[in-house]
Amino acid sequence: MEEKARFRVLVVVVVAVVAGGALFAVAALSAPGDVPWSLATVLILIILALVAIVVVGKERKDLKSGFPKEDERSRAIKDRAGYLAFFVSLYFLLGMGFFQAVLDEEQVFARPPAEWAMIYVAVMGSIFLALHAYLNRKGVPG
Amino acid sequence: MRTRIKEFRARYDLTQEDLAKKIGVRRETILFIENGKYIPSLKLAHDIAKVLKSSVDELFIFERD
């Protein structure tokens, strides 16, 4: 796909994700009770919006500079970060299950499955971003 | 791995940006290859050698750990 077309698709996807997050946050805020969860959704939305601004800004800069959006090194970093994030988040999922089943007998931290899924996705995304930034600085074997 | 890319770039008065644009990669990729932090694919190594009118053997010095 042409670089400009890819950039437009990226902008549309980012706007859709942020808009989805905003709807979710509005729904959570307007629902009665559970203030911590409502605040958490607003925090997630703010993080999403910040990441979106950074990603779109970087893509725009790359497009203007004439460099390709991706090359073999950036693909290697993305692949490695994705691979590691998958396994680390699997251990996080196992830990969450163990915590809920064994350590949290009183069900103090019990949440609906949809909320656990949101937390899992947020953790997985954060691990991916952190690993991506780390590998981008440290380098990956070719 | 050590490389002589910097030396060859200087010979042809090329910046990292110039070299990256000629090969079609990002500037950071050239930086990391020069510093030995990224080992390029054979194709990329060949492309770099071609632009710098050299050979892969001449540009990349592999050392056993």
In the 3-class helix/strand/coil scheme, how is A67-89 assigned residue by residue? CCCCCHHHHHHHHHHHHHHHHHH
Per the CB < 8 Å rule, is A71 touching B41? no
Q: Which residues of A touch B (CB under 8 A)?
A: 62, 66-68, 71-74, 76, 136, 138-142
**Number of domains within chain A:** 2
pLDDT digits (tens, 9 = 90+) for A58-73: 778 877 777 887 889 9
Helix, strand, coil tally for chain A in percent (to 5): 80, 0, 20
Are A108 and A85 members of one domain? yes
Percent of chain A with pLDDT strictly greater than 90: 16
Torsions phi, psi for B2 (to 5 deg): -110, 155
Are A10 and A57 members of one domain? yes
ipTM of the complex: 0.84
More confident residue, B25 or A11: B25
Q: What is the mean pLDDT of residues B25-50?
A: 92
pLDDT score of A10 more than 60 = yes
Among A69, A98, A115, the domain-final residue is A69
Q: Which of B27, B28, B38 faces A142 most closely, judged by CB atoms? A: B38
H/E stretch holding A20 reads: helix A3-30
Q: How confident is the model at residue A1 (pLDDT cuts 50, 70, 90)?
A: low
> Which residues of chain B make contact with A71, given a CB cutoff of 8 A?
24-26, 29
pLDDT digits (tens, 9 = 90+) for B8-23: 999 999 999 999 999 9
| Start-to-end C-alpha separation, chain B | 9
Q: What is the mean pLDDT of residues A73-94?
A: 92
**CATH numbers and ranges of domains, chain B:** 2-61 (1.10.260.40)
| Start-to-end C-alpha separation, chain A | 25
Task: Please report the pLDDT score of residue B59 as a whole number.
Answer: 92
